[in-house]
């Protein structure tokens, strides 16, 4: 006579093995979530620093050229979106830049070249904006550099 054994429940060993397999599969997923939130925090800080630098750049670029001192350094701190940012602004006057350009004209079938050198004395200023913040104990820095020209001084050149 044959006896059939019907198995209707899991043994404790089978349940423990199932939990182990699920646990091993879930651990990398949790690690992925924590890494993504760390990356998001880093990107938020960087974006806030870039926005702050852009605001400062727009403010100083909208100033009249004569209002800007020939040499100027300003350092201060700002807290934005929970992060403390150090800002350093530096204006430098570029003393003299010779611009050289060539004009080509065709007159009665002949090509004539005109060379002109124009010296723009103190008509160009360089702005450096450095934004610093701490991220995980490491200092991070973001730098913007631009130039502002005194357009009336360039009228003879343009």
Please report whether residue 85 resides in a domain. yes
Average pLDDT of the segment spanning 87-107:
69
Identify the CA nearest to 138 among candidates 34, 46, 52, 37: 46
Q: What is the pLDDT of residues 46-94, one digit of tens each?
A: 888 888 888 888 888 888 777 777 677 888 888 887 888 888 888 887 7
Tell me: pLDDT of 147 over 90: no
The residue segments making up the domain with residue 86 are 12-154
Spatial distance between the Cα atoms of 99 and 77, rounded to a whole number of angstroms: 38
Average pLDDT of the segment spanning 115-120:
60
Give the model's pLDDT for residue 35.
Answer: 82
Please report whether residue 6 resides in a domain. no
Percent of the chain with pLDDT over 70: 72
Please report whether residue 57 resides in a domain. yes
Please report, for residues 32, 37, 100, 140, the alpha-carbon distance to residue 29 in angstroms, rounded to integers and kept in the order given: 5, 13, 61, 29
Write down the residue that tokens 């993504």 correspond to.
36
Number of domains the chain is built from: 1
Give the model's pLDDT for residue 152.
Answer: 60
Given a contact cutoff of 8 angstroms between Cβ atoms, the answer to whether 117 and 97 are in contact is no
Average pLDDT of the segment spanning 111-126:
65
Tell me: pLDDT of 19 over 80: yes
Q: What is the mean pLDDT of the chain?
A: 77
**Residue 155 φ/ψ, nearest 5 degrees:** -60, -40
pTM listed for this prediction = 0.57
The 3-state DSSP composition of the chain as helix, strand, coil percent (nearest 5) reads 35, 45, 20
Spatial distance between the Cα atoms of 92 and 124, rounded to a whole number of angstroms: 9
Please report whether residue 1 resides in a domain. no
Give the model's pLDDT for residue 158.
Answer: 46
Please report whether residue 5 resides in a domain. no
Given a contact cutoff of 8 angstroms between Cβ atoms, the answer to whether 102 and 117 are in contact is no
């Amino acid at each position: 006579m044959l006896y059939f054994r019907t198995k209707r429940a899991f043994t404790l060993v089978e349940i423990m093995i199932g939990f182990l397999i699920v646990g091993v599969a879930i651990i990398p997923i949790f690690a992925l979530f924590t890494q993504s939130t760390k990356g998001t925090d880093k990107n938020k800080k960087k974006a806030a620093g870039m926005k702050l630098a852009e605001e400062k750049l727009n403010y100083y670029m909208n100033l009249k050229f004569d209002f800007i001192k020939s040499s100027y350094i300003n350092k201060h701190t700002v807290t934005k979106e929970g992060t403390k940012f150090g800002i350093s602004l530096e204006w430098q006057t570029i003393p003299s830049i010779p611009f050289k350009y060539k004009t080509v004209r065709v007159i009665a079938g002949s090509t004539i070249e005109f060379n002109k050198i124009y010296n723009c004395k103190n008509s160009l200023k360089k702005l450096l904006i450095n934004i610093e913040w701490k991220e995980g104990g490491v200092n991070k820095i973001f730098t913007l550099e631009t130039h502002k020209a005194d357009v009336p001084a360039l009228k003879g050149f343009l």
